[in-house]
Amino acid sequence: MAEVTTTAELMDYDEAMERFDPVLGLEVHVELNTASKMFCGCSTAFGADPNTQTCPVCLGLPGSLPVVNGTAVESAIRIGLALNCEVATWCRFSRKNYFYPDMPKDYQVSQYDEPICFDGHVDLEVNGDVFRIEIERVHMEEDAGKLVHQGGDTGRIHGADHSLVDYNRAGVPLMEIVTKPIRGLGTRAPEVGRAYMAHLRDLMVALGVSHARMEQGNLRCDANVSLMPKGSDELGTRTETKNVNSLRSVEGALRFEIQRQGALLAEGGRVVQETRHWHEEGWTSPGRSKETAEDYRYFPEPDLVPVAPSREWVEQLRASLPEPPASKRTRLQAEYGFTDLQMRDVLGNAGSLDLIEATVLAGSSAAAARKWWLGELARRANDAGVDLADLTITPQQVAAVQALVDEGSLNDKLARQVIEGVLAGEGEPAQVVADRGLAVVSDEGALSQAVDEAIAANPDVAERIREGKVQAAGALIGAVMKAMRGQADAARVRELILQKLS
Amino acid sequence: MSQAHDILTSSAAGLVAAMEAGTWSCEQITRTHLDQIEALNPHVNSYLAVDAERALATARSIDARRAGGEKLGPLAGVPIAVKDLLCYAGLPTTAGSRILEGWMPPYDSTVVERLVAADLVILGKTNLDEFAMGSSTETSAYGTSRNPWDLDRVPGGSGGGSSSSVAAFMAPLAIGTDTGGSIRQPASVTGTVGVKPTYGGVSRYGIIAMASSLDQAGPCARTVEDAALLHEVIGGHDPRDSTSIDQPLPDVVAAARHGDVAGMRIGVVTELGGEGYAPGVEQRFTEAVALLREAGAEIVEVSCPHFVHAMAAYYLIMPAEVSSNLARFDAMRYGLRVGDDGENSTEDVMRASRGAGFGAEVKRRIMLGTYALSSGYYDAYYGSAQKVRTLIVRDFEAAFEACDVLISPSTPTTAFKIGERIDDPLAMYKADLCTIPSNLAGNASGSFPIGLAPEDGLPVGLQVMAPPMADDRVYRVGAAIERFLEQQWGRSMMAMAPRLEHSLLDDQGGN
């Protein structure tokens, strides 16, 4: 049953942009990184065996009651503040009622008409232009369990003969960040949508409130798109493409829907208000169409008391907000003297700016920190298929290696071996140096002898150097380094050779 | 027999004194109650499950600890019955419903935890209307409990299993829950004491929810002091219930021991009387008011004009919460499952299971509540009902400015006949006319026996309502009326109750 391609007709993107103005609405779910769930003490750790992180509360057993996770409320407020939102003085949770086996209580505890944060905005800089995205609300809710459909080809419910439910995820805290309708982006709409997601991802990391791993579903976007004919003020019918889980996909889904809706409207057709699925190959398909609008029968959750954050607390949280990612980037580029090209490389390597910053704070120069993280370490991360931040070496250790280089104890080649040792779990850099015997030989006697031997073994080369052909010293340095098995400071070797042959 | 009689008719406080004096052992007391249950439960149907083995084991360990000189709590060793709405691991919890038949909760409710920690001996689980929805136990999937004063009559509801177990001397104490009167109305019609504490005064954790904003567990007993002792054991803050009040409990035990109304201002609520109230109920209530006045209380008439709308508001708010709270009984993880034939969809199985598992009254309330919360109707129904609720809270606040407590009959009539109202929901709902306002407002409220109605010889109850967290005032007035009446009668209310173990056994002997 898996569809392989779309049958939708698409309008040329540029033509669509000549005829229509797109209006976007982005709803982003952020899974928080709190240690425990939204309403109980169960762990939220990813990847545990199914249904091992559950209790009467998150299983919705008869008689159980929820208790609000204070850290999740704090995270929600910090997210709201970082998005320039108002913070409610008083708000409640509501129940969203619907029957589905992944909801243990057959209702989701969420927020409805009283979100904790509302009316914010964020200014995005996209290739030199600034776009303001208005934020409608940030609200708290609990995640549902995870259904695993068995017996079908696609892993989807269609065609499956039975389904299993894992409630480990049930009750994990989710924040939903909803924009107001975003107009006036014109042809830049997909690009700005992508930049908005990237901004949220960086912000969550900077705030430390979410792991923000899009591939693990920590950040999930529902992208709403509609088209208005140029010159019209009337909003068109929107579609909602669910669970778009990468930056590239957000851009792709927005672009695809603009082209698809454009073709429909141009032919005098009608856009159906529906949810759609995103396919990684670059297209969307209609989701389960609902004959009637679902009535969730929201009402205030009677098992929970209202949340009323004091103004003092909110101001404390505001004062402790980290620097916004965009201004941090600008500041560090200036401080470190990176060129625009270098900065683009840094930003293109997820997480590298924070690692470089930490390495500099640990004593390294910015140039050396950049060289290590974007060079040797990026290569090793790439080989291992992990993120830079997941390498088993800390910025402090990288700075320690660089310090050994700076004091002349290590040359570049040896430093790479030390890093290899640290990554292999052999201990701190100093430990690796000692255990592997990697220090540069600074015994002048041994070095001097090796130089004398190299001169004696290569009389022709020595003669040319004596005649002033200093560049010929390279051959002798190579011979000495070989004799010393690399553990010599090449600069010092060169000095000795020139000294002896002058 | 006379020793068994003494044990069974003793108050909980009396049992503890006897155990401390070495007169009776806990095992003896427990065994006597288990024997009484064995003899009477087939006739009264108070208990749905009896936990004889665990009760006796607990009793023996309490005896050993007491013999070892350990200082035990004020209710240690007292047997107790628990409404089958509270989770207690090791026994099934049914909520009186077919849909939960055989379900074994894997955890204990906070109330049960506190009973166990205070060394009470849990005898078993008592019958109730299905999911506590009813005033007679007739909606229970497991049969109707009987009123010990007249086995053809209801013991009240939903807590009729608890009230009848205490009234038939099958337990000196019981736990009830009260959403619209389910502790007080059964107490009233069985001549026993029942108190609905301030909302948030007793943890709801582990009690199967009917209507979360109204539900409250509380004590059932034969004496005011016993009720207060039990209230003290189960009450107090619980971090697992967000709506639990983080304040010390008022000293209900002292209030129950020193019941004195001299100087108190007691308000008689105009709207809770008159048409629809049985003559005998009105008569006994008027006499009780006179007694309180003689004892030095100042009696004032108080109007709470919005109480007339309490029933209507209650029958929107309660079903709305019910419709959501009972959604989880969907056959997916526990309870009855019907129609799972490999062909039916998940939704089909949910629908079939709920259709088969829920009784008519539960379905009626789920439908009412679903409708009341529906888009387009929410403001007119649920929204308006919440506004009425606020007006009722204000009525109480104004009344408590003028009075220390408010009083009324607990329920408009004495116990009605089994079958008399089951086909007339509105007539059934009227049993909670006097009790519902305190659930909507969340204040403390109790029912105390004030004699028998002359026309039918059945018990009448006095309802005492106090402001939130002033539960002690409820006990103060209850203890005073108990003392004056016992002085007047020369015996306690329950001493007038029929002794079923004699009459039933005699009847059987005669057959």
A488: DSSP letter: B
Angle of CA points A375, A381, A385, to nearest 5°: 145
Pairing assessment for the beta strands B444-452 and B193-196 based on DSSP bridges: antiparallel
Structural domains in chain B, sorted by start:
2-308+389-510 (3.90.1300.10)
Tokens of B267: 């308000």
pLDDT digits (tens, 9 = 90+) for A390-437: 888 999 999 999 999 998 888 888 899 999 999 999 999 989 988 888
CA–CA min distance B292, chain A (Å): 38
**Residue A36 φ/ψ, nearest 5 degrees:** -120, 170
Instruction: Give me the torsion for CA of B64, B65, B66, B71, rounded to 10°.
Output: 180
**Contact state of A97 with B206 under an 8 Å Cβ cutoff:** no
Among B243, B328, B374, select the one facing A106 at the smallest CB separation. B328
pLDDT digits (tens, 9 = 90+) for A378-394: 999 889 888 888 888 99
Asked if B503 is an active-site residue, the reply is: no
Residues of chain A contacting B211 with CB distance shorter than 8 Å? 302
pTM of the model as a whole? 0.87
Distance CA B138, CA B330 (A): 24
| Nearest Cα to Cα of residue A30 among A132, A171, A192, A143 | A143
Residue type, A459: P
Residues of chain A contacting B316 with CB distance shorter than 8 Å? none
B330, B354, B377, B386: which to substitute to probe chain A, counting the most A Cβ within 10 Å? B330
Alpha helices of B177-309 — where are they, by DSSP H? Answer: 184-190, 224-234, 252-257, 279-294
Residue appearing with tokens 């009389």: A459
Residues of chain A contacting B334 with CB distance shorter than 8 Å? 61-62
Tokens of A418: 């030390």
C-alpha distances (whole Å) from B23 to each of B20, B49, B63, B77, B266 are 8, 29, 12, 13, 42
CA–CA min distance B327, chain A (Å): 6
pLDDT digits (tens, 9 = 90+) for B253-290: 999 998 999 999 999 999 999 889 999 999 999 999 99
- Catalytic residue, chosen from B11, B83, B163, B244, is B83
CA atoms in the 13 A half-sphere facing the CB of A144: 17
CA–CA min distance A236, chain B (Å): 24
Structure confidence at residue B506 (pLDDT): 64
Among A67, A104, A105, select the one facing B239 at the smallest CB separation. A67
Structure confidence at residue A1 (pLDDT): 37
A297 in B contact zone (CB under 8 Å): yes
**Contact state of A297 with B375 under an 8 Å Cβ cutoff:** yes
Alpha helices of B93-223 — where are they, by DSSP H? Answer: 110-117, 160-167, 184-190
| Nearest Cα to Cα of residue A68 among B107, B239, B110, B238 | B239
- Give me the residues paired with residue B265 across strands: B298
Residues of chain B contacting A67 with CB distance shorter than 8 Å? 239-242
Contact in structure between A117 and A72 (CB atoms under 8 Å): no
Give pairs for A120-127: CB < 8 Å, separation 24+: A120/A80, A120/A83, A120/A84, A120/A85, A120/A86, A121/A83, A121/A84, A122/A83, A122/A84, A122/A196, A122/A199, A124/A192, A124/A195, A124/A196, A124/A199, A125/A326, A126/A188, A126/A191, A126/A192, A126/A195, A127/A191
**Contact state of B320 with A299 under an 8 Å Cβ cutoff:** yes
CA-nearest residue of chain A to B245? A305
Distance CA A51, CA A48 (A): 8
Tell me the pLDDT of chain B (511 aa) as tens digits.
589 999 999 999 999 999 999 999 999 999 999 999 999 999 999 999 999 999 999 999 999 999 999 999 999 999 999 999 999 999 999 999 999 999 999 999 999 999 999 999 999 999 999 999 999 999 999 999 999 999 999 999 999 999 999 999 999 999 999 999 999 999 999 999 999 999 999 999 999 999 999 999 999 999 999 999 999 999 999 999 999 999 999 999 999 998 999 999 999 999 999 889 999 999 999 999 999 999 999 999 999 999 999 999 999 999 999 999 999 999 999 999 999 998 899 999 999 999 999 999 999 999 999 999 999 999 999 999 999 999 999 999 999 999 999 999 999 999 999 999 999 999 999 999 999 999 999 999 999 999 999 999 999 999 999 999 999 999 999 999 999 999 999 999 999 999 898 887 665 544 3
B94, B177, B238, B373: which to substitute to probe chain A, counting the most A Cβ within 10 Å? B373
Q: What ipTM was estimated for this complex?
A: 0.95
3-state secondary structure of A47: coil
Query: What residues have CB less than 8 Å from B449, skipping those under 6 apart?
Result: B187, B188, B191, B192, B193, B459, B460, B461, B462, B482, B485, B493, B494
Among B206, B240, B350, select the one facing A67 at the smallest CB separation. B240
Distance CA B13, CA B222 (A): 11
The dihedral built from the CA positions of residue B54, B59, B62 and B63, taken in this order, carries a sign that is negative
Asked if B445 is an active-site residue, the reply is: no
Residues of chain A contacting B378 with CB distance shorter than 8 Å? 297, 299
Among B86, B205, B213, select the one facing A65 at the smallest CB separation. B205
Structure confidence at residue A442 (pLDDT): 67
Alpha helices of A58-116 — where are they, by DSSP H? Answer: 70-82
CATH class label, A444-501: mainly alpha
pLDDT digits (tens, 9 = 90+) for A278-304: 998 899 999 865 555 689 999 999 999
pLDDT digits (tens, 9 = 90+) for A333-372: 999 999 999 998 888 887 789 899 999 999 999 999 999 9
Asked if B158 is an active-site residue, the reply is: yes
Instruction: Give me the torsion for CA of B484, B489, B492, B494, rounded to 10°.
Output: -130
Instruction: List the domain boundaries for chain A.
Output: 13-312, 323-436, 444-501
Query: What residues have CB less than 8 Å from A380, skipping those under 6 apart?
Result: A391, A419, A423
**Contact state of B328 with A64 under an 8 Å Cβ cutoff:** no
**Contact state of B346 with A101 under an 8 Å Cβ cutoff:** yes
Residues of chain B contacting A105 with CB distance shorter than 8 Å? 327-328
Residues of chain B contacting A99 with CB distance shorter than 8 Å? 327, 330, 347, 350
Residue appearing with tokens 């409640």: A92
